Chain A
Amino acid sequence: MTEHSRHTEEADIMNKKIYSIGGLFDTPDSITHAAEEAVKEGYTKFDVNTPYPVHGMESAMKLKPSLIGLVTLFIGLSGAAFAFMFMYWVSVVDYPLIIGGKPFFSWPAFVPVTFEVTVLSAAVGTVAVMIALFFKFPNNAHPLHDTNYMKHVSSDRFGLNVVAIDPLFDESKVRDFLSRTGAKDIEIFYEPERKPIRVFDPKFIGLLVVIAMVTAGVTYFTLNKLLYMPPFTWMAEQDRLSSQSQNAMFTDGFGMRNPVEGTVARGFTPYEFKGQPDSVVRNLSNPLPFSKEVIDRGKMRYNTYCSPCHGYFGKGDSRLNGQFPNPPTLHSDKVRNWPDGNIYHVITNGQNVMPSYDKQITRDDRWAIIHYIRVLQRSLNAKDTDLETKK
């Protein structure tokens, strides 16, 4: 700042609060001497500013040794612990994966990362703490800034200034002390008066709004647009035709085609018989074995497809009571005496109001269901002999 402005400042000294009084020295020896004197005087709240660290100054000023090392130790150790535990959690607890046949907790592999994280956290942590907590930086509003004093201590001279909060501080005393120790250009530093920051300052609000809009905009773009653009879509959009999808290759747009008329797929030789079951149908025999698996399967399919109308036990007790005509029971002599082929015929082609089920139920499942129906029929017509056979 210019000479002129400083004059005006000194003009209204009275309404300003003194921060400190400081003077400049020329040689490292003199400043060291001055620092020792200051301590002898009993000043505690004084500071020495030197363009480079002058040896022995700490001892001259009787400063306590720095404790920053402890900070490093603490942060470093916690960093290490976190890293190692995190890796353990990831690879053993949260998502264990078999990698190269190694055990989930293959700790030797964790060493490098642990080391790196330790160093990173310790180094960065220490610096952050030093700057933010020890120095209270950034602080560009400090009274010493932009003074002749600062101009020199940051270049070629050495400065000592006694701060007003020192219990022994007295303007005149400090002045003579400084001149006594041979300080030149003694200067008084005043606290700058602070202007309150106005929250509802339109500029400030404007800023907030802008920030809000930018963040919102970017987020919106990223989440709704960017991630659905190539290359991000590449693997998502598969160049293949999955079930039930459209395809413009075909004029009708159906991706799923119908088999060509007259062709016969493996295991699907057409079931030619329609209308009333004839001898051929009756002689169809059940290809599936009468085994537990088959019966279980039959039960499952029966309960899925048949039970809504026929009821769980084939008694014709429909769950759709009233809304749909109940089918007759499956335990009538008629049905019990039907050959398997006949039942198969009915399931396949339907009968009266019962529709054809050949689309829903696969052929094997139909036969499995027939087995299950037989089981039902047998169980509902148990005879005493059954008990005996049990024995």
Chain B
Amino acid sequence: MRTFDYTQELPVVDGQPPAKAIDDVVSKPLDTKPGKVWKILITITSLMLLVGGGALVWTFYKGIGVWGNNQPVSWGFDIVNFVFWVGIGHAGTLISAILFLLRQRWRTGIARFAEAMTIFAVMCAGIFPAIHTGRAWLDGYLFPYPNANHIWVNFTSPLLWDVFAVSTYFTVSLVFWYIGLIPDFATLRDRTESKLKKTIYTIFSLGWRHSTRHWQHYEKTYMILAGFATPLVLSVHTIVSFDFAVSVIPGWHTTIFPPYFVAGAVFSGFAMVQNVLIFVRQAFNMKHIITIKHLERMNQIIILVGTMVGYAYAMEFFIAWYSGNQFETFTFINRAFGPYAWAYWIMVSCNVILPQLFWSKKIRTTIVPMFVIGIIVNIGMWFERFVIIVTSLSRDFLPSSWGMYTPTIYDLGILMFSFGLFFTNVLIFVKTMPSVSISEIKAVVDGAQPSHRGGGHHE
């Protein structure tokens, strides 16, 4: 059976390093002592983690009243951050799985990384539904477990779908990621000198022997997982969008949300992956594994999805007017010209206007501008969620119960906490695990496949 069909149109690895060299390159960060850059970075991120954690602890102690949430706007930063992070978490599996199914050879260099980011992002996302509840210590109620009162959960609630979607997504991504890691752990196990590392790698490699009899099932399973991951990715953000689309609130109650949210998720996700890749590429010089071409591809996708998002914005407005529903109309005019107009225009400029710069190949292929635009896109996407959630709630049906929402420092603190968590994880990841799939890279260097079986040729 053929799983990998690597075409020649883009070399994954510049040059043709021997397999051993690949081992060395990839495991270099693991073998060497952490460098200055890394130390500085981890200090910063863990500081964010600590300070933000303080905000979290205070929230638990006092109650979520320390946040800015209030009567009309019962969801604020908590859910904004949740949707934001879930969005980020989408690119990983998407890149890994969909590009895998599409036989996109260039994925190899970035897949492992993207998957890792998915997991970290979903971790960050997962925090928020857990802490946003008024009685976080009772979150267990959200799971259907048998109890003396025969009380079960409410399966008609989108929030419950969320619980299932997010936990499924996390588990499957984790498994997908771990499966990919097993052969690499085995490789590391067999090359390391340190006893401790050996034990650890031994445990995680489960005794992998690179046996072809295993490779056979392994590849099949990998493909099946990829096959599952793809609809899963789409389903997860669709369900997240249901949190809003299923409600009756003008500005939420929209059928366009599922595709719109998925596009948005991919958008922000790619931007984030692009950012982190650039960062790793520079920091751990993997220039010949994460090539400019990879990044350009990503930028192209960013511009594509960004335009889709822009279309969604336009369409929302059109429908609001076309439906003739006065509540809907009011909500959208209010978004653009009401008290939260600033947020709206930040969103539009960051998500629709600025990414258009990627039409120029120069910008698309030079590190600094693309990095900046990546960041801008993420800011814009964060504001998209803010606009959707806060403006819709702050001015809904009854003018009598309108109210503005102002975040407090605790809201900001917890946002910082999530970023701290994410980047700390990333940093630890690149120092402890092969951030590029060794076996896959080996399999795609020129001449890695039997010559008479089209090693590197079309059949």
Binding site for B on A (CB under 8 A): 28-29, 32, 35, 47-58, 61, 63, 65-66, 68-69, 72, 86-87, 90-91, 94-95, 97, 99-100, 102, 106, 109-110, 112-113, 115-117, 119-120, 122-124, 126-127, 130-131, 134-135, 137-142, 144-145, 150-151, 153-156, 231-232
On whether the beta carbons of A51 and B156 are closer than 8 Å, the reply is no
On whether the beta carbons of A90 and B155 are closer than 8 Å, the reply is yes
- Which one, B19, B154, B207, contacts A155 given CB within 8 A? B19
On whether the beta carbons of A130 and B217 are closer than 8 Å, the reply is yes
Which residue of the partner chain A has the closest CB to B449? A55
22 pairs of residues in contact across A and B, judged by CB atoms under 8 Å: A28-B450, A32-B453, A47-B213, A51-B442, A52-B439, A54-B450, A55-B2, A58-B1, A58-B216, A65-B1, A68-B220, A100-B156, A109-B155, A113-B160, A116-B161, A123-B224, A123-B229, A124-B172, A130-B218, A142-B209, A151-B190, A155-B187
* Chain A residues with CB under 8 A of B212: 35, 47-50, 53-54, 57-58, 61, 63
CA A90 – CA B455 in complex, angstroms? 55
CB within 8 Å for A53 and B171 given contacts A91-B152, A91-B155, A156-B19: no
Which residue of the partner chain B has the closest CB to A157? B19
On whether the beta carbons of B164 and A156 are closer than 8 Å, the reply is no
On whether the beta carbons of B171 and A134 are closer than 8 Å, the reply is no
CA A134 – CA B211 in complex, angstroms? 12
- Which one, A49, A53, A87, A97, contacts B4 given CB within 8 A? A53
B210 part of interface (Cβ distance < 8 Å)? yes
Which B174-213 residues have a C-beta within 8 angstroms of A? 175-176, 179, 183, 186-187, 189-191, 202-203, 206-213
What is the interface of chain B mostly: helix, strand, loop, or mixed?
helix
- Which one, B152, B203, B440, B442, contacts A94 given CB within 8 A? B152
* Chain B residues with CB under 8 A of A100: 156
* Chain A residues with CB under 8 A of B164: 112-113, 116-117, 120
CA A139 – CA B206 in complex, angstroms? 6
B407 part of interface (Cβ distance < 8 Å)? no
Q: How far is the CB of A187 from chain B (nearest CB, A)?
A: 14
On whether the beta carbons of A112 and B161 are closer than 8 Å, the reply is yes
CA A99 – CA B152 in complex, angstroms? 13
B235 part of interface (Cβ distance < 8 Å)? yes
* Chain B residues with CB under 8 A of A155: 19-20, 23, 187, 190-191
CA A50 – CA B215 in complex, angstroms? 9
On whether the beta carbons of B221 and A130 are closer than 8 Å, the reply is yes
On whether the beta carbons of A140 and B207 are closer than 8 Å, the reply is yes
On whether the beta carbons of B156 and A99 are closer than 8 Å, the reply is yes
B165 part of interface (Cβ distance < 8 Å)? yes
CA A151 – CA B192 in complex, angstroms? 10
* Chain A residues with CB under 8 A of B161: 112-113, 116
B231 part of interface (Cβ distance < 8 Å)? yes
B338 part of interface (Cβ distance < 8 Å)? no
- Which one, A69, A90, A116, A156, contacts B220 given CB within 8 A? A69
CB within 8 Å for A119 and B443 given contacts A50-B210, A55-B450, A112-B165: no
CA A117 – CA B165 in complex, angstroms? 9
CA A91 – CA B447 in complex, angstroms? 60
- Which one, A32, A126, A153, A231, contacts B224 given CB within 8 A? A126
Which B401-459 residues have a C-beta within 8 angstroms of A? 438-440, 442-443, 447-455
CB within 8 Å for A29 and B217 given contacts A51-B187, A110-B155, A150-B209: no
Which B57-97 residues have a C-beta within 8 angstroms of A? none
On whether the beta carbons of A231 and B220 are closer than 8 Å, the reply is no
CA A122 – CA B226 in complex, angstroms? 12
* Chain B residues with CB under 8 A of A144: 209
* Chain A residues with CB under 8 A of B187: 51, 154-155
Q: Which of A29, A100, A106 has the most CB of B within 10 A?
A: A29
CB within 8 Å for A49 and B211 given contacts A55-B449, A94-B150, A154-B190: yes
Which B266-310 residues have a C-beta within 8 angstroms of A? none
On whether the beta carbons of B137 and A115 are closer than 8 Å, the reply is no
Interface residues contributed by chain B, number (CB under 8 Å): 76
B151 part of interface (Cβ distance < 8 Å)? yes
B125 part of interface (Cβ distance < 8 Å)? no
Q: A56-B450, A91-B152 are in contact. List 9 more A-B contacts (CB 8 A).
A: A48-B211, A49-B209, A52-B183, A52-B439, A90-B144, A113-B160, A119-B172, A124-B171, A137-B208
Binding site for A on B (CB under 8 A): 1-4, 18-20, 23, 135, 137, 144, 150-156, 160-161, 164-165, 167-168, 171-172, 175-176, 179, 183, 186-187, 189-191, 202-203, 206-221, 224-225, 228-229, 231-232, 235, 239, 242, 438-440, 442-443, 447-455
CA A105 – CA B135 in complex, angstroms? 30
Q: How far is the CB of B11 from chain A (nearest CB, A)?
A: 17
CA A347 – CA B440 in complex, angstroms? 97
On whether the beta carbons of B451 and A29 are closer than 8 Å, the reply is yes
On whether the beta carbons of A29 and B207 are closer than 8 Å, the reply is no
* Chain A residues with CB under 8 A of B183: 51-52, 154
Q: List the 7 shortest-distance A-B pairs measured between CB atoms, nearest first.
A: A156-B19, A52-B443, A109-B156, A137-B206, A139-B207, A116-B164, A154-B190
CB within 8 Å for A66 and B214 given contacts A54-B450, A110-B155, A150-B190: no
- Which one, B216, B224, B453, B455, contacts A69 given CB within 8 A? B224
Q: Which of B2, B187, B190, B220 has the most CB of A within 10 A?
A: B190
Q: How far is the CB of B388 from chain A (nearest CB, A)?
A: 20
On whether the beta carbons of B442 and A124 are closer than 8 Å, the reply is no
CA A287 – CA B443 in complex, angstroms? 100
CB within 8 Å for A123 and B175 given contacts A55-B450, A139-B206: yes
Which residue of the partner chain B has the closest CB to A63? B216
CB within 8 Å for A119 and B168 given contacts A50-B212, A124-B175, A155-B191: yes
On whether the beta carbons of B206 and A131 are closer than 8 Å, the reply is yes
On whether the beta carbons of B215 and A57 are closer than 8 Å, the reply is yes
CB within 8 Å for A66 and B220 given contacts A90-B155, A137-B206: yes
CA A153 – CA B439 in complex, angstroms? 11
Q: Which of B137, B152, B155, B176 has the most CB of A within 10 A?
A: B155
* Chain A residues with CB under 8 A of B207: 137-142, 145
Q: How far is the CB of A336 from chain B (nearest CB, A)?
A: 56
* Chain A residues with CB under 8 A of B209: 47, 49, 142, 144-145, 150, 153
Which residue of the partner chain B has the closest CB to A61? B212
CB within 8 Å for A29 and B224 given contacts A52-B440, A119-B231, A123-B175: no
CB within 8 Å for A29 and B452 given contacts A49-B211, A90-B144, A150-B190: yes
On whether the beta carbons of A29 and B206 are closer than 8 Å, the reply is no
* Chain B residues with CB under 8 A of A130: 217-218, 221
CA A115 – CA B447 in complex, angstroms? 42
Which residue of the partner chain B has the closest CB to A141? B207
* Chain A residues with CB under 8 A of B137: 231-232
